[in-house]
Amino acid sequence: MVCLIGRWVNYRPQPDAVPNLRRRARSYKEIRMSAHFDIAAIGNAIVDVIAPAGEAFLAEHALTKGSMMLIDEGRARALYAKMAPGIETSGGSAGNTVAGVASLGGRAAYIGKVADDQLGEVFAHDMRAIGAAFETAPLKGGAATGRCLVNVTPDGQRTMCTFLGAATELAAADVAPAVIEGAAIVYLEGYLFDPPEARRAFAKAAGLARASGRMIALSLSDSFVVERHRKGLLEFIETEVDLLFANEAEICALFETSDFEAAAAAVRGRCRIAALTRSERGSVAVTKTEAHAVPAEPVDAVIDTTGAGDQYAAGFMFGLARGRPLADCARLGSLAAAEVISHYGPRPQVALADLAAARRLTPA
Amino acid sequence: MVCLIGRWVNYRPQPDAVPNLRRRARSYKEIRMSAHFDIAAIGNAIVDVIAPAGEAFLAEHALTKGSMMLIDEGRARALYAKMAPGIETSGGSAGNTVAGVASLGGRAAYIGKVADDQLGEVFAHDMRAIGAAFETAPLKGGAATGRCLVNVTPDGQRTMCTFLGAATELAAADVAPAVIEGAAIVYLEGYLFDPPEARRAFAKAAGLARASGRMIALSLSDSFVVERHRKGLLEFIETEVDLLFANEAEICALFETSDFEAAAAAVRGRCRIAALTRSERGSVAVTKTEAHAVPAEPVDAVIDTTGAGDQYAAGFMFGLARGRPLADCARLGSLAAAEVISHYGPRPQVALADLAAARRLTPA
């Protein structure tokens, strides 16, 4: 176990085109002492509709297993009509991560757009009920709260079709500077690259984070997102991102290779830390000079992998925000992911803080 | 095992005040041959919001564990704001029973009132997705879809607070004669005794069922419902009900005793069959002359008892509608109840037909 934090203390961002907007990057200790939140996350606020499905269902509806596809309202209605009975639960990648951080005992804030409707109320309730700060004003008189139709096959894999709805209206004005500037790590989901307005919010958050010396974390979200926005994502990673999350398919898509080792080698040095997840093969956290492989946490049965990556990010970032060595961050990620794949739904059903304590992984 | 069906074949209802409205009660075989549905159920259409809660939460909000309390919208909002994050899922007692019958491979129809809103859409989707007929027109411009706030304590017990919303607007006009007259068993939930308009729908359904020689089943629903409507329920049971479902608390409340054996003795002969459930002590099906005790189906861990009684009724009625002996009906009920208490949510997550087949309990 090598502690990366010591290195990060001395980390100074490279100057960019607008150096005057940047303050000196703070030391880790400075960041931690000055942060109201461990994590502030920005994402597409989405309610999940989760139902079991057979392989034939995916084939019939031309869905690629394990992926996320954007659909419009008409397609969402048609697909929903064909789905099995399900449960509804607050989701959204970064929202799930915030729930995980809160479950670990962390202080988290969320920025995302729901509508002024029943599912929007559910989303806001769940966010506040876990103790997360969520003050984004709901959209009135526009699209409905976004929803993600999640079809879970018997192997536990989830295939997602998302109608973004109100989430696309997340605007730069929704990015509250106090939230961004008050967080040790600012976490952005790659899905935000899809809606143009949200992308502006994304850019504003990154700018504020950089200017206030906060750490910027990014999740690649989905290999199709990477295909759609490869150039923009690469540029953003190289210029702004301190901590990158990607699964095997995503990192391979980013570097247009089918060889994980090649992709992992390619990402090293492009950002401070890359945390790469490999399902049952665990994860590897790499920096320019180090690599820490951590095995997956064993589970009795994989029921539904929805939220696995989100919870991994929650565990990893909570560890990092609290000064744990990188390998422990990865272990916290694995622990959180294992909990969420052992039941339906993308958020923890038990207090992750208790699981972490049992493993002596509780950060200070 | 004694087959009750033989006796029921010869069952003729007593004449009532309006004998001209009644046709001759059909034989069991006649009923079965002429029925489009095994079960037609009428109930309060409700979406459940299910969340874990501690014992202290119940005490703080003056909730009686295991009961159902009616609350208004204001109280629902206030209570929801205090609840833990949860999942939303279609519920409603009779709706859950219909889902269970469909999961067993039965043909089922449902009558109940949702609003023209997101949760109403979810309810209707889930009903149709399981293959049940559900044609009740949604309420427009009125109250929102009813919801039940279900707080699940660590012992798996559920405590429910229901805001009926649109469900109270279920009217006699919503009771489609073709549905009632086309079902082998017409199932009514005792909760319908609460909203005055729904009670008229209830009376109409009972009248239609009786007039067309259908079997009438009733669930007592909740001991507080029994306290509120004891006289009306007793009268209805004695004059109209063929098959009564009650748990220990409910049957004891009905006969104002704390002695289950006394209550079970009191109900015998007041209706054709009474199926009395006793949680982990199993159930007993009694008629005037017979009693069949069946043990509870063992489960690894009781997670959430929401829907246990509803699924018991589903198994029992499906067995009865398909001509199984009473003890097998009770076994089917236990099997269905065991599945639903082993996870969060009031409806089956696996095909009950498969579980029944594995036990050789599959009706023809």
List pLDDT tens digits, range B99-115.
Answer: 999 999 999 999 999 99
Predicted confidence band of residue A6 (pLDDT cuts 50, 70, 90): very low
Task: State the DSSP code for B171.
Answer: -
Q: What pLDDT sits at residue B57?
A: 97
Predicted confidence band of residue B234 (pLDDT cuts 50, 70, 90): very high
Q: What pLDDT sits at residue A192?
A: 93
Instruction: For chain A, list residues whose CB is within 8 angstroms of any CB belonging to chain B.
Output: 49, 51-52, 80-81, 83-90, 99, 117-119, 122, 125-130, 144-145, 344-345, 347, 349
Q: Which of A18-27, B195-204, B313-322 is the least confident region? A: A18-27
Q: Report which of B205, B183, B181, B194 is spatially closest to residue B42, judged by C-alpha positions.
A: B205
**Main-chain dihedrals φ then ψ at residue B207, nearest 5 degrees:** -65, -45
Closest approach of chain A CAs to the CA of B213, in angstroms?
A: 33
A294-303 pLDDT, tens digit each: 999 999 999 9
Residue B25 in this model has a pLDDT that exceeds 90? no
DSSP strand pairing (A37-42 vs A108-111): parallel
CA pair distance B360, A9, nearest whole angstrom: 67
B119-151 pLDDT, tens digit each: 999 999 999 999 999 999 999 999 999 999 999
A348-359 pLDDT, tens digit each: 988 999 999 999
Can you state the angle between helices A223-240 and A196-211, rounded to 10 degrees?
30
Residue B1 in this model has a pLDDT that exceeds 80? no
Predicted confidence band of residue A16 (pLDDT cuts 50, 70, 90): very low
Residue B15 in this model has a pLDDT that exceeds 60? no
A279-289 pLDDT, tens digit each: 999 999 999 99
Q: Per-residue pLDDT averaged across A46-58, rounded?
A: 96
CA pair distance B92, B162, nearest whole angstrom: 10
Contact between chains at A89 and B90 (C-beta distance less than 8 A): no
Closest approach of chain B CAs to the CA of A69, in angstroms?
A: 21
Predicted confidence band of residue B24 (pLDDT cuts 50, 70, 90): very low
For residues A214 and A23, the model is more confident at: A214
Give the chain B residue whose CA is nearest to the CA of A87.
B89
Contact between chains at A86 and B126 (C-beta distance less than 8 A): yes
For the beta carbon of residue B249, count every other beta carbon within 10 angstroms. 20
Query: B4: phi > 0 → left, psi -120 to 50 → alpha, else beta; which?
Result: alpha
Q: Report which of A131, A37, A145, A155 is spatially closest to residue A91, judged by C-alpha positions.
A: A145
What is the pTM for the complete model shown?
Answer: 0.88
Q: Which of A18-32, A92-106, A160-174, B257-271 is the least confident region? A: A18-32
CA pair distance B127, B46, nearest whole angstrom: 12
Closest approach of chain A CAs to the CA of B318, in angstroms?
A: 20
Contact between chains at A88 and B89 (C-beta distance less than 8 A): yes
CA pair distance A107, A318, nearest whole angstrom: 9
Contact A169, A196 (CB under 8 A): no
Q: What pLDDT sits at residue A28?
A: 56
Contact between chains at B83 and A119 (C-beta distance less than 8 A): no
Contact B100, B187 (CB under 8 A): no
A241-271 pLDDT, tens digit each: 999 999 999 999 999 999 999 999 999 989 9
CA pair distance A224, A254, nearest whole angstrom: 10
| ipTM score for this prediction | 0.85
Q: Which residues of chain B have a CB within 8 Å of the CB of A349? A: 52, 344
Amino acid at B175: V
Instruction: For chain B, list residues whose CB is within 8 angstroms of any CB belonging to chain A.
Output: 49, 51-52, 80-81, 83-90, 99, 117-119, 122, 125-130, 144-145, 344-345, 347, 349
Q: What count of CB pairs under 8 Å joins A to B? A: 64
Max CA pair span of chain B:
56
Chain A interface disruption, residue of B116, B118, B306, most A CBs within 10 A: B118
Q: Report which of A260, A257, A217, A208 is spatially closest to residue A236, judged by C-alpha positions.
A: A217
Contacts 24+ apart (CB under 8 A), B252-257: B252/B223, B253/B220, B253/B223, B253/B226, B253/B227, B254/B220, B254/B226, B254/B230, B256/B230
Structural domains present in chain B: 24-44+93-114+168-358 (3.40.1190.20)
Q: Which residues of chain A have a CB within 8 Å of the CB of B130? A: 84-85
Give the chain A residue whose CA is nearest to the CA of B303.
A349
Q: Report which of B296, B202, B181 is spatially closest to residue B247, judged by C-alpha positions.
A: B296
Contact between chains at A85 and B90 (C-beta distance less than 8 A): yes
**Average pLDDT of chain A to the nearest whole number:** 90
Contact between chains at B81 and A122 (C-beta distance less than 8 A): no
Q: Which element (helix H / strand E) includes B30? A: helix B28-34
Grouping H, G, I as helix, E, B as strand and the rest as coil, residue B277 is strand
Contacts 24+ apart (CB under 8 A), A194-200: A194/A44, A194/A70, A194/A164, A194/A225, A194/A228, A194/A229, A195/A44, A195/A164, A195/A167, A195/A168, A195/A170, A197/A168, A197/A169, A197/A170, A197/A171, A197/A172, A198/A44, A198/A167, A198/A168, A198/A170, A198/A171, A200/A171, A200/A172
Q: Per-residue pLDDT averaged across A291-312, rounded?
A: 95
Q: What pLDDT sits at residue A344?
A: 86
Closest approach of chain A CAs to the CA of B180, in angstroms?
A: 24
Predicted confidence band of residue A32 (pLDDT cuts 50, 70, 90): low
Residue A20 in this model has a pLDDT that exceeds 90? no
Q: How far apart are the first and last CA of chain B?
A: 18
CA pair distance B100, B318, nearest whole angstrom: 9
CA trace torsion B84, B90, B92, B95 (10° rounding): -160
Residue B10 in this model has a pLDDT that exceeds 80? no
Token pair of A202, please? 């994304």
CA pair distance B136, B141, nearest whole angstrom: 16
Alpha-carbon distances of A160 from A67, A69, A143, A278, B85, rounded to whole Å:
6, 6, 20, 19, 22
Counting every residue written for chain A, the total comes to: 364
Predicted confidence band of residue B35 (pLDDT cuts 50, 70, 90): confident
CA trace torsion A348, A350, A351, A357 (10° rounding): -110
CA pair distance B127, B249, nearest whole angstrom: 29
Residue B251 in this model has a pLDDT that exceeds 80? yes
For the beta carbon of residue A350, count every other beta carbon within 10 angstroms. 12
For residues A56 and B362, the model is more confident at: A56
CA pair distance B192, B179, nearest whole angstrom: 18
Contact A73, A141 (CB under 8 A): no
Q: What pLDDT sits at residue A29?
A: 60
Q: Report which of A42, A40, A41 is spatially closest to residue A195, judged by C-alpha positions.
A: A42
Closest approach of chain A CAs to the CA of B248, in angstroms?
A: 30
Residue B21 in this model has a pLDDT that exceeds 50? no
For residues B19 and B123, the model is more confident at: B123
Residue A10 in this model has a pLDDT that exceeds 80? no
Residue A54 in this model has a pLDDT that exceeds 60? yes
Token pair of A26, please? 């703070």
Q: Per-residue pLDDT averaged across A71-98, rounded?
A: 96
Q: What pLDDT sits at residue A35?
A: 81
- Which residues touch A66 (CB under 8 Å, ≥6 apart)? A157, A158, A159, A249
Ordered alpha helix ranges (H), B245-323: 248-254, 260-267, 308-321
User: How many percent of chain A have pLDDT more than 90?
Assistant: 85
Contact B203, B218 (CB under 8 A): no
Closest approach of chain B CAs to the CA of A296, in angstroms?
A: 25
Give the chain A residue whose CA is nearest to the CA of B132.
A85
Partner residue opposite A88 with nearest CB, options B88, B128, B347: B88
CA A196-A235-A320 angle, to 5 degrees, is 95
Contact B309, B317 (CB under 8 A): no
Q: What pLDDT sits at residue B20?
A: 32
Residue A49 in this model has a pLDDT that exceeds 80? yes
B276-323 pLDDT, tens digit each: 999 999 999 999 999 999 999 999 999 999 999 999 999 999 999 999
Q: Report which of B125, B227, B184, B52 is spatially closest to residue A77, judged by C-alpha positions.
A: B125
Q: Per-residue pLDDT averaged across A93-117, rounded?
A: 97
Q: Which residues of chain B have a CB within 8 Å of the CB of A99? A: 85
CA trace torsion A71, A76, A82, A86 (10° rounding): 110
Predicted confidence band of residue A18 (pLDDT cuts 50, 70, 90): very low
Q: What pLDDT sits at residue B6?
A: 31
CA pair distance B143, B327, nearest whole angstrom: 43
Q: What is the DSSP string of A60-121?
A: HTTPPTT-EEE--HHHHHHHHHHSPP-EEEE--HHHHHHHHHHHTT--EEEE---BSSHHHH
A127-183 pLDDT, tens digit each: 999 999 999 999 999 999 999 999 999 999 999 999 999 999 999 999 999 999 999
B145-194 pLDDT, tens digit each: 999 999 999 999 999 999 999 999 999 999 999 999 999 999 999 999 99
Residue A2 in this model has a pLDDT that exceeds 80? no
Contact between chains at B83 and A129 (C-beta distance less than 8 A): yes
